[in-house]
Structures are given as C-alpha cells and as structure tokens.
Structure 1
Amino acid sequence: MQKDIRASFNQSFSQEKYQDFLADLNKATQDSIEFRVAETPVFVPKSLKDKLISTCESIIDVISQDDFKAKTEKAIPVHQNVPNENNHTSFLAIDFAVCQNEQGDFVPQLIELQGFPSLFGFQYLLSETFQKHYQLPENYDFMFNSFDRKAYIEEFYQLIIGDSKPENVIILEIYPEKQKTRVDFEVTEKLIGVKAVCLTKIIKEGKKLFYLNEGVKTPIDRIYNRLIFDDLTNFPNLKTDFNLTDDVEVEWIGHPNWFFRISKYTMPFLKNPYIPTCKFLSDYNGEFPENLSEYVLKPLFSFAGTGVKINIDKSDLTSIPDPENYILQKKVKYEPVIQTTDGSSVKCEIRMLYIWQKDEPRPILLSNLARLSRGEMIGVRFNKDFDWVGGSVCFMER
C-alpha cells in the first residue's frame, strides 16, 4: 500500500532472513507455532489508518449507547446465558477488508466484529520480532494512542489483573496446551504473569472457584476468558466441576455474553460508508435482493468462518428454517494490495484491537492484527499451502 516502503522491504527480503525470523518467534513457545506467520508486516498509510479509526469510532457510538443491551438480548442463546454480566465488553475486535474505491484510494470495508479477545500477547511479540529482524520505517507503529511497549503492558495488566494478584487470575480455555493459539497464552504469562488453565481443572466449591497452582489450591478472583461455547461442542462427554453458566463469585474479563452481543448480530444496526449493507435474513420477509451474487450469507452463531456461504441463490435462502439466525451482507471485494517478491499481490484483512477498562465510557485502541490471503476465504487455515500469506501485524503511519 506504500509503494516505496514495500519496494524497499521486498528488495531486502530473503528466505534466510524469514527463517531466522520464524526461529526467533518460535522461541516463545515450547512447541512450534502451528498457524502460518506471513513473510511481511503490512504498512498502512495514514489516510487508510484514519478511515479505519473513524469507522471503528462510529461502531463504538452504537455499542456504547444505553439501549444496546436491550437491542441485543436475543443475541444470547437461552441455554448459554452466563450470570453476572458486566456493563460493557472488555474487548472489541473489528475486522476490515482492504479495498479500493472508484478513485483508486484504499478504503476499509467492515467484515465482522467481536466482543472477544484476540492475540494481544502474540501481536506484541510478533511486532517486536519483525522490528528486530527487518529494517522498518521509524514513523510507523503497531500501537496507538501514543502507547509505548511499557504502557502497552501496563494497560493490558490493568485490564486483566486490576487490583487482584496474578496468581488469582487465570486464562480460561479448554485444553490450552492443544490450542493453535497457545503461543499467545505463553507470551501473556511472560508479560503479565497469568497462567492458562483448562476448564476441566477448575475446582468449584459452592460459588467459589479454585485451581492448582504448582500443586497449591488457589482461589480464582478473575477469569480472562478465551473459551467459547462452540469449542465445547467438540467435547460432548466432558466432565467438569464448573460449567460456564454457573452462578459463581468471579469477575469475568471478557464476559461470555459479549461474544454474542457484539458479533454478526450487531452488524444490521451499523451505518457508515465503510460498512456494507447488512440485514437479518428474516427482515426481508421473502423479498430478497435480485442481485444475490453480490451478497454473502452468514449464520449468526458460528465461529472462524464456519457456515459462511459465498455463492448463494434464492433456494438457499428460502430453505433456511430459522432466518432470524442469519444475516445477508453485501459482498466486499478484497483488493490484492500487497506486492510479493515474485510480482504477484495478496489480499489483506486488518483487525483493530480495543480494550475497555472497567467503568470507562469507551474502549481504547491498543493494537492490531493482519491476515494475508491468496484464497477466496481469509484466515490462516484457508491459506496454509501458499507463501506470503498468514498472520501478520500492521505498522501504521503516525
């Protein structure tokens, strides 16, 4: 997107540098990183950065309104409603495709959003490792709001641990040692001292929760939640003392209900030039757009791209028994904007990562994540057999 910076980076790139970079990155984990990390960071010009941020702020205007909870009550499945919900989400992740308008300017288009944490620890490490192994422009940064690395960690620590002690806070997952994102748990532990604990290892006594910390039974005051209900469906015979829907005396950092409230369910409420038209399928009352080739069908209750249908016809829509649980969204044309060393170009998606401190009126922008793709679907699992694709980070012009 920045031709001179891209040309300079590609000219200095070599496979040997890339392998050294990966080897250094892999030192952060006991096992090698399972998802593909792209060869390059993404360099974002200020004009696109400003559009990204202004669109995010328009979204925050909606989710910070007093009536947002009332509007999104139906987003939470009855059997997955978790007690003791807080006033607002702790996390906000907003995904954009990088596109071009008719004038040839780079513009964002909203893909989806989540009230759920992303790879805050790993992105910190990834950006640092890129800076260590490559010559990057000094007036570009992966952080926002004048944060430096020390302030980044302090802000993240305050959100996750607050006034508790690190040993009384856990990262909650199901079999964290088997997750592809386990490197993020390991980096997070190094940054703020919080350990990942499997749901099956939680001890419940009345409304109190405990875990064994180096063999010592330790109270849990706060849960940094990285577990979603969809993951639990893969383990139908799981035996646990603690179920997510139990009424327990813990503070959720990333309360599970916000995963549903801020999601594809939110998108029909959003209006902005950089947000494609989106409606609940049930709102069409059978009168669908003629140009269905320009739309994508998405189930509300799915994760990581599962169930998304890109090529649809009217029969796909009329055969759905629960149209209130689907959205029809105008397609977005990703523009291949990042030139590779072989002269081809790849598509890019940018995730803006916000945290929302307790009782603050609005979230703050902390970091970002990028994903590069050659395939029809964005996401590392859809691009594992290509090069110059995978997870990355944006360095944005100050």
Structure 2
Amino acid sequence: MIKELREQFNRDFNDEIFSSFLRRLDDRVRLKIQFRVCETPLFVPKHVQQTCEETAVELALRLHEPEYLALSDRTLHPKIEVAGQPDHASFIAVDFAMTYDTENRIKPMLVEIQGFPSLMGYQLFLAELAQEHFALSPDLEYINGGNTRPQFIDLLRRTVVAHHDPENVILMDFNPWHQKTCPDFYAIKELLGIEVIDIRHIVKQGKHLFYKNENGSLIPISRIFNRSIVDELEREQVAIPFNWNDDLYVEWAGHPNWFFRISKFSSPYLDHPLVPSSWFLHELDEYPEPLDRYVLKPLFSFAGSGVIIGPTRDDLDAIPEDKRSNYLLQERIDFAGVVDTPYGGTRAEFRVMLLWPPEDEQPRPVMGLMRMGRGDKMGVDQNTDMRWIGASCNFFPPE
C-alpha cells in the first residue's frame, strides 16, 4: 500500500529469511504458533491509518450512547447476563476492509466492530521482531494513536490491572494454553505480570473468587481480564465454578456483556459513510437484489463461522422464524487487491484495537493487526494453504 516500501520488502524477501523469522517468533512467545503468519507486514499510508483510527473511536463512542445501549439490552440473555457491567467497554476491536473508491483511491470500509480484546501483546512482540529481523526503517511506527511503547504499556496496564496488585488480577479463558490466541496470553503475562488461569480452576467461596498459585496457595481475584466467550462455553456445556449472573466481589476488564452489546448487532444502527448497509433478517419484508451482493452473518459467531457470502433465497428462507432476529444481511464489501505480492494482488483487512481505561473519557487506538487473503473470507482459519496470506502486523510512516 506504500509503493516504495512494498517494492523494497518484496525485493529483499526470501524463504530462508522468513523461516528464520518464524522460528524466532515462536521462541519469542515460547510456543509454536498455531495460525498462519503472513510473509509480509502491511505498510499503511498515514492518511489510511488516521481515517481508520478516527472512525474506530467515533463508532465506539456512538455505541455507548444511551439510545443504543437501550436497544442493545436485547442481546443480553438472562442466563448469561453478567453483573457488574462498567460504564464502558474496556476493549474494542474494529476491522476495516481495504477497498478502492470510484477514483481508485484506498477506502477503508467497516467489516465488524467487537467489544472484546484482541492480540495486543502478541502484536507488539510481532512488530518489534519484524522491524528488527527484516531490517525495516526504525522510523516506521507500529503502535497506533501516536503512542510510544511506554505509553502503550501504561494504557494496557491501566485497562487490565487498574489500581490492583497484579497478583490479584488474572487473564481468564477456557483451556487457555490450547487456544490459538495463547501467544497473546504469554505476551500479556510478560508485560503485566498477571497469571493466566483456566476458568475451570477458579475457586469460589461465597461472593469471592480465588486461584491457586504455583505453591498451591489460594490467591484472591480482584479483577478478571476476560478472554472467554460466554455463549461458546454455554454451547459446549463447560462446567465452571460460578454462574455468570452471580453477584461477585470482582471487577472485569473486558466485561462479558460488551461482547454482545458491541457486535454485528451494532451494524444496522451505525449510519456512517464507511459502514455498509445492513438489516436484521426478521425486519426484511423483501430481500434486496441481487443477493450475491450481500453477506448473511449470524450475530454472535466468532472467527467468521456461519457466514454465507452471496446467500440464496433458499438459504435465507431456511432460517426458522424464531431464529431470524439473530441474523444480519449486510451489503457485501469488495476487498481490493491492494498488496502486491509474488502471487498477485492480495486483499487486506486492518484491525484497530482500542483500549479504554476505567477513568478515561474515551477509548484510545493503540495497536493494529492485519490479515491478508485471496479467498472469500479473511479469517486466519480460512487462509491456511496459500502463500503470502494470513495474519501479521502493520507499519506506517511517522508524521
């Protein structure tokens, strides 16, 4: 996307350099990464980066307005509505497709916005290693929002740990070291000094939660950095030591309710030039035509599961009446082949990660993540058997 940087990177690239990079990356996070890492970072023009950051913050703020929050109440199911919801989400990930406008200029378009944390720690380690290993200019930036590394760590600490002792803050997921996201768990553990705990191993005593440290001692939990997806645990019938709607003496960094409130459900309420049109399926009296220009999405799936690109009338009619409110029909986005690779023009998606510490007035862009692909879907699970595709980091020029 930045011609001279792209040409230089492609010219200098070879498979041996990349294989060495992957080995070093595994060493950096002390485990074998289970998703495909792309051969190249994304070089993002400054104006594109700024547009994505500003739009991400604007949309996040809109989704905290009282009118929208009242509408989003219907996303919370009584069985899994969690007590103690704070005034705002702690983490918001905003994905933009790289497209071309009518004058062949790069135009970001919103793919999805989610009130859930992404791989902030891992992306920091990835970008730092990529800059050094590929001998990229030290002037290139990879931390968003104009933040320095210490400022990013401070924002991360204020969001995750807040005012607590790190010993009393945990990162919580189901079977965490077997999740594909576990490289980020290691990075967060290193950066913040908090423990990574399996949700099944938490101990509940009255209204208090505890975890066992390596010596077997029970340590009180004051704040949870939540990486578990509530409805997935319910669907898989994972037995956990507390009920989601228990009144507990614990704070949440990444309160589970925000995963539902800020989600695909939000899209029809976002009137913005960079947001494609979308409708809840149950509200459509007639289907828009032609349907191959639309995408059917279940509201609360993760990692692209259940998405149908170019659904047929039979696909739409097959959804039962009582399930139709849980589906979205969205205008299809034409990803452009904005990245020149040895395998031709490749599509790119740019994620802006926002942090919102408890005491701050608005969220801050801090880190980016890019995904490249040549298939219909951009998720890492859908781009596994090709070259120069997958997940990587972003670099952009300084001011």
Q: Is the CA contact 1:49–1:397 (under 8 Å) kept in the aligned structure 2? A: no
- Residues in 2 aligned to 1:276 and 1:298: alpha-carbon distance in whole angstroms: 13
Q: Is the CA contact 2:370–2:391 (under 8 Å) kept in the aligned structure 1? A: yes
Q: Is the CA contact 2:343–2:388 (under 8 Å) kept in the aligned structure 1? A: no
Residue 33 of structure 1, CA deviation: 0.8
Match of 2:149 in 1: 149
Is it true that 1:273 corresponds to 2:273 in the alignment? yes
The alignment of Structure 1 onto Structure 2 pairs a total of residues equal to: 395
Q: Is the CA contact 2:170–2:197 (under 8 Å) kept in the aligned structure 1? A: yes
Letter of the structure 2 residue corresponding to residue 4 of structure 1: E
Letter of the structure 2 residue corresponding to residue 295 of structure 1: Y
- Residues in 2 aligned to 1:220 and 1:57: alpha-carbon distance in whole angstroms: 31
Match of 1:11 in 2: 11
**Larger deviation, residues 381-390 vs 56-65:** 56-65
Residue 386 of structure 1, CA deviation: 1.0
- Residues in 2 aligned to 1:64 and 1:79: alpha-carbon distance in whole angstroms: 23
Match of 1:308 in 2: 307
Match of 1:74 in 2: 74
Residue 234 of structure 1, CA deviation: 6.0
**Larger deviation, residues 148-157 vs 171-180:** 148-157
Match of 2:49 in 1: 49
Letter of the structure 2 residue corresponding to residue 96 of structure 1: F
Match of 2:101 in 1: 101
**Which runs of 5 or more structure 2 residues have no equivalent in the other structure?**
none
Letter of the structure 1 residue corresponding to residue 196 of structure 2: A
CA RMSD of aligned residues (A): 1.5
Match of 1:297 in 2: 296
Residue 180 of structure 1, CA deviation: 1.1
Q: What's the TM-score, normalizing by structure 1?
A: 0.96
Residue 287 of structure 1, CA deviation: 1.5
- Residues in 1 aligned to 2:374 and 2:287: alpha-carbon distance in whole angstroms: 31
Letter of the structure 1 residue corresponding to residue 282 of structure 2: S
Q: Secondary structure at the match of 2:145?
A: coil
- Residues in 2 aligned to 1:137 and 1:26: alpha-carbon distance in whole angstroms: 23
Match of 2:34 in 1: 34
- Residues in 2 aligned to 1:47 and 1:288: alpha-carbon distance in whole angstroms: 36
Match of 1:318 in 2: 317
Q: Runs of 4 or more off by more than 4 Å in structure 1?
A: none
Q: Is the CA contact 2:131–2:138 (under 8 Å) kept in the aligned structure 1? A: no
Residue 60 of structure 1, CA deviation: 2.6
**Which runs of 5 or more structure 1 residues have no equivalent in the other structure?**
none
Q: Secondary structure at the match of 1:9?
A: helix
Alignment of 1:1-398 (within 5 A): 1-214=1-214, 215-233=216-234, 235-236=236-237, 238-284=238-284, 286-320=285-319, 321=321, 322-340=323-341, 342-398=342-398
- Residues in 2 aligned to 1:145 and 1:347: alpha-carbon distance in whole angstroms: 24
- Residues in 2 aligned to 1:199 and 1:151: alpha-carbon distance in whole angstroms: 30
Letter of the structure 2 residue corresponding to residue 173 of structure 1: D
**Larger deviation, residues 198-207 vs 291-300:** 291-300
- Residues in 2 aligned to 1:313 and 1:106: alpha-carbon distance in whole angstroms: 30
Residue 141 of structure 1, CA deviation: 1.2
Q: What's the TM-score, normalizing by structure 2?
A: 0.95
Question: What fraction of aligned residue pairs are identical, expressed as a percent?
Answer: 37
| 1:338-389 C-alpha deviation (Å, 9 max, x unpaired) | 111x251211111100011114221011111101112111111111111111
Q: Secondary structure at the match of 1:211?
A: strand
- Residues in 2 aligned to 1:360 and 1:63: alpha-carbon distance in whole angstroms: 16
**Larger deviation, residues 358-367 vs 315-324:** 315-324
Residue 138 of structure 1, CA deviation: 4.2
